[in-house]
A and B are shown apart, each in its own frame.
Chain A
Amino acid sequence: MALKYEPNIVLSTKEYDVVGTRPIRHDGTDKVTGAAKYGADFYMSGLLFGKVLRSPHAHARIKSIDTSKAEALEGVRAVVTAEDLPSITAEGSFKAGELTVDLKYLRDGVLASDKVLYRGHPVAGVAAVNVHVAEEALGLIEVDYEVLPSVMTAPEAMKDDAPLIIEDLETEELGEKTGKLSNVADHSQHTLGDVEKGFAEADEIIEREFNTETVHQGYIEPHNFTTNWNKDGRLHVWLSTQGPFDIRNSMAEVLGLGISDVKVTPMEIGGGFGAKFSVFGGPVAALLSKKTGHPVKIVNTRTEEFESATPTSGCYIRVKLGATKEGKVTAAQAYLAYEAGAYPGSPVGAGATCVFAPYDIENQVVDAYDVVVNKPKTGAYRAPGSPNANFAAESVMDEMAERLGIDPLELRLLNASKEGVRRSDGVRHPRIGCIEVLEAMRDHPHYSAPLEGPNTGRGVAIGYWMNGGGESSINITVHPDGRINLIEGSADIGGTRTSIAMMAAEVLGIPAEAVLPAVVDTDSIGYTSGTGGSSVTYKAGVAVSLAAQDVKNKLIERAAMIWGVDISSVEAERGVFQSKEDPELRMTFKELAAQLNDTGGPITGGASLNAAGAAGAFAGAIADVQVDPETGKTTVLRFTLVQDAGKAIHPSYVEGQMQGGVVQGIGWALNEEYFMGTDGKMDNSTFLDYRMPLALDLPMIDTVIVEVPNPAHPFGVRGVGEVCITPPPAAMANAIHGALGVRMRDLPMKPAVVMGALWGKGE
């Protein structure tokens, strides 16, 4: 069925009164008027300013640190080093949100104790009366280093003669130490069927190697931490974070405090994309606050962000596919080696789960290696691990389509995953929308539109992200004027205040504008897992539906009491409470709310739960490009993203996520990378030189929202924030092939890489 072209299409399968509409966001006024308070805006009486001394070396042993000259500088109030951290009382690891964190690595990441493992590694912190004095004091701290050889990429770090970055690191396999000292922190493997048999059945086999570079999330707002170590022993932290409760837990672990000794207040957040879960300078600011008796604020510079704040992995990937001449993929094999940065924990596991997830392939082997290198510790970045793997797998899939002479979308449809198909890890897909996304791509006018101009090409790709659930808590209070307060613990990085408010409004039958949502501190709401994994509208949606139903039930009871009738005779529909037996007994939500205080007191409702059932999502990209064969410059002519949202609660926000994910994916594809030598120095650590796509670089991104409802959610929601970044790099690579006839194996596909590929082809 051909779709009629519109810039933004929503293929709805079920309509509601509030859900699926596009109200103005609740925090909109504060955001556009500048009234919203971000971490850097925060100020307290007596505030001191902190700065962090960072390693100039990629790998070195700390022989000594002398802070005496810095401490003597006028205006300096305190200096801290790793020696100020409390001695470790609890060995091992703990859960910080979705991550399992090794305590020693976390503490050494906050302030290096014996070695620095990357350029930018924190070594000491200073608190002073202003930031200029603090910066001057950093220059007076004398650190004696023994510089060690460094290693910057996974393939180099995996060599037997590579310098060991963490000298006692043993490779683990499914939690079991292998006894082998190595920079390979972990090896995991998924197998399905018999891959050798599968390749033997294939008529065509293609195997290719790929490399991707370190890239940064590029959020606008740098990390910031204001801490006040109160005289009563409690620590209060104000910061920009996706996981207030994760920060609370990590701060407590690093500082040797009880969890309830730490209170975290999330400020407004100027972008996160996965990167704002780590404590970084938080404990440094806390130690400085404890030493000085004053609140202390640390705000990173952009260069500090690039050099120390959790970019995502560069990697090496090898993918092999076998298929029959009719187009059935019979076997798939992948080898993924991801850079973890200075400490273990790359997203290679997610890459291994996602790499072949769009396809029903009976025989598979996927090997995944987590490799430490002398770069900043990597962190989550929007579908972490998936774009890298997808770039490799979807490039080979496209080449297979070309070799078999089958339309690239038809080949994907021939092999598409559906409910019951096993992923590489053996887990069966629940109800998913992979086929529906591919069909919408095929039916979109973009796919059949003629390409115009020389050296133009069109590429497609489809990507997967598993999405997440987790803990969520919601409290609702009914006001006498018919509005409600909605208290939540999920930091709002993508409009979730409004999406959660809309679901509450739908259940209660009131307008979205009648809901007043508020994100509160960790003392004021039950534990809520972080805003990541595209989880919030899913998990908070389940919680808010239950909380709103709780309120609705109590309102029905109250109406029955007021009318003196049996509860079972009262029903509520679209915000109107009425007797099933007497049409005269009828009240609106607002009328009933006005009577609450005089008829038994206020009504509140709530729900706290751990939501499972977040089904995975697929997104498909169609990209048109034009490439200048003399310079290698690629221009994006047209881009359409099709994505299964399950149910788009607020379609504008879903479209915004899709467009933002595509823009970041195009950045991965064409421009973004850390320029680093073996000394670990990043040569492009400003936004001037780290080239993210600008509005002038891009066409408007067209979107198609497919809605294949997730049966585990009351409104059918699937997470939408991440999968959208997954297919753009591969679609761009396939489009460049269409334009020039060369296959791209390395990201970013900057002009030099494109020209290299062209010259390799003999042109």
Chain B
Amino acid sequence: MATVFIPSLMRSMTGGLDTVDVEGSTVREIVNHLDALYPGMKDRLMDKFRIKPSISVAVDGEVTPLGILEKVGEDSEVHFLPAIGGGSVEAG
């Protein structure tokens, strides 16, 4: 199972847990399974069919431009991070 790192400002939703092991082969599946474990998580992370613009998702250390479409491995680490604004970061 992938290990999802819960941002500190969302740990009230996981009873204080900072990591959760979750099944899923894509970020989309990870979010769905996370939401099943901790209801409301999906609304917190996604707008309809995409990760919220204010949030970035990193899989195995790499912020992915694919968002929920990104593949997740059996031993992957998944981080939900504040999207970095105001600068030329992670792209241009």
Contacts and interface: CB of A to CB of B under 8 A. Distances in A.
Partners in one complex: yes
Interface of A: 93, 95, 97-100, 172-176, 186-191, 242-243, 246, 274, 277, 313, 338, 340, 344-350, 352-353, 368, 370, 378-381, 383-385, 425-430, 466, 468-471, 529-535, 610, 612-613, 722
Interface of B is mostly: loop
6 contacts: A98-B91, A100-B83, A175-B52, A349-B82, A469-B90, A533-B88
B22 to A, nearest CB: 16
Contacts of B66: 610
Contacts of A349: 82-86, 89
A274 B61 contact: no
A468 B92 contact: yes
A466 B55 CA distance: 17
Contacts of B20: none
A468 B58 contact: no
Interface string B1-34: 0000101111000000010000000000000000
A176 B10 CA distance: 10
Given A174-B54, A530-B92, A427 B86 contact: no
Contacts of A345: 85-86
B25 to A, nearest CB: 18
Most buried by A among B63, B64, B92: B92
Given A347-B86, A380-B86, A427 B79 contact: yes
B81 A384 contact: no
A426 B92 CA distance: 23
Given A345-B85, A346-B85, A368-B82, 7 more contacts: A97-B92, A100-B53, A174-B7, A384-B86, A530-B91, A533-B92, A612-B62
A314 to B, nearest CB: 13
Interface string B22-50: 00000000000000000000001100000
Contacts of B53: 93, 95, 100, 175
Given A173-B9, A189-B8, A612-B62, A100 B88 contact: no
Nearest to A381: B87
Contacts of B9: 173-174, 187-189
B88 A380 contact: yes
Contacts of A612: 62-65
A319 to B, nearest CB: 18
A347 B54 contact: no
A429 B61 contact: yes
Given A175-B52, A347-B85, A353-B84, A466 B91 contact: no
Interface of B: 5, 7-10, 18, 44-45, 52-55, 58, 61-66, 77, 79-92
B61 A532 contact: no
Contacts of A469: 65, 90-91
A384 B89 CA distance: 8
B92 A427 contact: no
Nearest to B77: A428
Where chain A touches its partner, the secondary structure class is: loop
Contacts of B89: 98, 347, 349-350, 384, 466, 468, 533
A73 B27 CA distance: 60
A433 B64 CA distance: 22
Contact of A242 (B44, B52, B81, B92): B92
Contact of A97 (B5, B7, B45, B91): B91
Q: Which of A349, A353, A428 has the most CB of B within 10 A?
A: A349
Nearest to A102: B53
Contact of B91 (A348, A385, A535): A535
A174 B44 contact: yes
Contacts of A534: 88
Given A173-B9, A242-B92, A426 B79 contact: yes
B11 to A, nearest CB: 9
Given A188-B82, A430-B61, A529 B77 contact: no
| A-B CB proximity, top 3 nearest | A532-B88, A530-B92, A384-B87
B31 to A, nearest CB: 13
Contact of B61 (A188, A189, A428): A428
B91 A350 contact: no
A304 B80 CA distance: 39
- A100, A174, A188: residue with the most chain B Cβ atoms closer than 10 Å: A174
A277 B91 CA distance: 12
A188 B54 CA distance: 11
Pick the most buried of A175, A350, A368, A469: most chain B CB atoms within 10 A of its CB.
Answer: A175
Contacts of B84: 98, 347, 349-350, 353
Nearest to A187: B9
Contacts of A348: 86
Residue of B58, B61, B64, B82 contacting most chain A CB atoms (<10 Å): B82
B54 A470 contact: no
B45 to A, nearest CB: 8
B54 A274 contact: no
A100 B5 CA distance: 23
Given A174-B9, A470-B65, A274 B87 contact: yes
A349 B90 CA distance: 12
Chain A CB within 10 A, most for which of B52, B62, B84, B88: B88
A13 B6 CA distance: 39
A99 B85 contact: yes
A346 B79 CA distance: 22
Given A246-B92, A274-B88, A345-B86, A191 B61 contact: no
Contacts of A353: 84
Contacts of A430: 61-62
A187 B23 CA distance: 30
A439 to B, nearest CB: 24
A468 B88 contact: yes
Contacts of A188: 7, 9, 82
Contacts of B44: 174-176
Given A427-B81, A428-B61, A612-B62, A379 B92 contact: no
- In this complex, the member of A97, A176, A187, A530 whose beta carbon has the largest number of chain B beta carbons within 10 angstroms is A176
A427 B88 contact: no
Given A174-B44, A176-B44, A470-B65, A98 B18 contact: no
A174 B82 contact: yes
A610 to B, nearest CB: 5
Contacts of A274: 87-88
Contacts of B5: 426
A425 B55 contact: no
A613 B62 contact: yes
Nearest to B8: A191
Given A173-B9, A347-B85, A98 B92 contact: yes
B62 to A, nearest CB: 5
